[in-house]
């Protein structure tokens, strides 16, 4: 039976993020579309896969019509990898996880003290080579905690120890930093608008800083976290000598701790920090797509407390609610009560576990189960 007031809705916008470990955002949109059409064969569906700046951001841009470009860059451990960025007109979307993400590490391997963002700097340089005027720099899913020192090095900065030698890669090496020289930074950086797109607003160091909050996810032990926090605080202090008091202000600024502190490095380059999902909705053309829709379907792998703090579904729902559109969500796992969903602007959530109680099956068979969930949405809202 259709939800009251939902009769006659025929135009649907699917704007969901990935189900991490199961489905990409593009696959989520495909499966939801297939399920809706089982219930309502003539439904009009527009797919706009979304991302919040973390892994999957380039794929979302490509799905929205950006051109995918590939280049060889250094991975987090220094081994060469093929990384992608996206270009449309004079705008590039660069995803640091493409070069320096956890997925670039061998299975079961972590390198919290030595993983470097050098390849992310090489990706930014490739975007500059493409002649763009705006770079959206999506950060998240990193393997690194080096404060963006590797990225800055790839763009021409020098970080030297007492003997005038380059410090070792990674956050651990910054403990030996004696002098920072940013005079060699690529001059083209001053001619582009750099937007730091992230779903976190942590500072660089301290109890809410990059090492303390995110270090353990990257394999950092309590001793590693302490060492990294100290090394990054020292790094920021040395940078005060190189660029002045702004370095301390940037270190304390929201977003500085994003992706192991690469946010701090981006702020030093003059980046403007914005919530990742807001930036991406602008870049992907969400507003005109929203105008065409009567029902919006968003979602991600787990709808939980984190969702409410800057994740893609919350951003989609907020924009849709402001436009007076009805929103429902799909997810693998639902850990929010109806009241919290309602406050976020989500009318109802449909977890895979409603159809298949076994979580392992939901993960391994997410696609077909999601189609069945979407068929339910079609029956509830479109018939």
C-alpha 266: how far from chain center:
15
> Mean per-residue pLDDT for 293-310?
94
124-133, 183-192, 304-313: least confident range: 304-313
Contacts of 271 (CB under 8 A, 6+ apart): 137, 194, 195, 196, 263
Q: Is 269 exposed, middle or buried (0-12, 13-18, 19+ CB in 10 A)?
A: buried
Question: How confident is the model at residue 310, as a pLDDT?
Answer: 85
Q: Is the pLDDT of residue 106 over 70?
A: yes
Q: Is the pLDDT of residue 8 over 80?
A: no
Distance CA 98, CA 61 (A): 13
Question: Which residues are paired to 134 by β-bridges?
Answer: 91, 193
Q: Pick from 324, 299, 312: which is nearest to 140 by CA?
A: 312
Q: CB of 348 within 8 A of CB of 327?
A: no
- Tokens 């920072």, located at residue: 180
Question: How confident is the model at residue 2, as a pLDDT?
Answer: 47
- Tokens 């202090």, located at residue: 237
Question: How confident is the model at residue 9, as a pLDDT?
Answer: 52
Distance CA 201, CA 310 (A): 9
* Structural domains in the chain plus CATH codes: 11-48+285-382 (3.40.50.10350), 57-277 (3.90.1510.10)
Share of the chain above pLDDT 70, in %: 98
- Tokens 């003997």, located at residue: 163
pLDDT in tens, 9-44: 589 999 999 999 999 999 999 999 999 999 999 999
- What mean pLDDT, rounded, does the chain reach? 96
- As a 3-state breakdown, the chain gives helix, strand, coil percent values, each rounded to 5, of 45, 20, 35
Question: How confident is the model at residue 337, as a pLDDT?
Answer: 96
Contacts of 173 (CB under 8 A, 6+ apart): 113, 114, 146, 167, 231
> Mean per-residue pLDDT for 335-345?
96
C-alpha 241: how far from chain center:
32
Question: How confident is the model at residue 6, as a pLDDT?
Answer: 45
Distance CA 358, CA 355 (A): 9
Distance CA 317, CA 278 (A): 11
DSSP characters for 80-134? EEEEEEEEETTEEEEEHHHHHBGGGSPTT---TTT---HHHHHHHHHHHHTT-SE
> Mean per-residue pLDDT for 212-231?
98
Q: Is the pLDDT of residue 5 over 50?
A: no
Q: Is the pLDDT of residue 243 over 80?
A: yes
pTM more than 0.75: yes
> Mean per-residue pLDDT for 329-342?
97
Q: CB of 215 within 8 A of CB of 188?
A: no
């Amino acid at each position: 039976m259709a939800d009251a007031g939902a009769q006659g809705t025929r135009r649907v916008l699917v704007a969901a993020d990935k189900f991490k470990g199961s489905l990409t955002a593009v696959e989520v949109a495909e499966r939801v579309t297939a399920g809706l059409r089982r219930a309502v064969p003539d439904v009009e569906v527009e797919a706009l896969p979304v991302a919040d700046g973390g892994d999957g951001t380039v794929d979302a841009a490509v799905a929205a019509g950006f051109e995918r470009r590939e280049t060889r860059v250094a991975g987090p451990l220094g081994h060469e990898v093929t990384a992608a960025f996206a270009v449309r007109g004079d705008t590039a979307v660069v995803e640091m996880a493409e070069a320096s993400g956890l997925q670039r590490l061998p299975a079961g391997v972590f390198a919290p003290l030595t993983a470097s963002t050098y390849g992310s700097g090489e990706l930014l340089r490739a975007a500059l080579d493409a002649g763009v005027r705006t770079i959206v720099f999506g950060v998240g899913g990193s393997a690194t905690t080096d404060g963006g020192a590797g990225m800055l090095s790839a763009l021409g900065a020098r970080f030297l120890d007492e003997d005038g030698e380059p410090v070792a890669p990674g956050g651990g090496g910054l403990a030996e930093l004696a002098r920072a020289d940013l005079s060699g930074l690529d001059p083209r950086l001053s001619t582009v608008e750099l937007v730091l797109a992230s779903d976190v607003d942590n500072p660089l160091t301290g109890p809410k800083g990059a090492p303390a909050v995110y270090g353990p996810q990257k394999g950092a032990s309590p001793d590693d976290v302490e060492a990294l926090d100290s090394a990054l605080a020292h790094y920021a202090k040395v940078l005060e000598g190189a660029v002045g008091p702004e370095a301390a202000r940037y270190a304390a600024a929201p977003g500085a701790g994003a992706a192991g502190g690469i946010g701090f490095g981006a702020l030093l380059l003059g980046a403007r920090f914005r919530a990742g999902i807001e930036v991406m909705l602008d870049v992907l053309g969400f507003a005109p797509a929203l105008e065409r829709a009567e029902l919006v379907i968003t979602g991600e792998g787990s709808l939980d407390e984190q969702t409410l703090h800057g994740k893609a579904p919350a951003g989609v729902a907020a924009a849709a609610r402001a436009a007076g559109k009805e929103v429902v969500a799909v997810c693998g796992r639902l850990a929010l009560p109806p009241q919290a969903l309602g406050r976020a602007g989500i009318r109802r959530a449909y977890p895979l576990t409603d159809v298949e109680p076994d979580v392992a099956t939901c993960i391994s068979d997410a696609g077909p189960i999601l189609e069945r969930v979407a068929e339910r949405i079609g029956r509830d809202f479109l018939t």
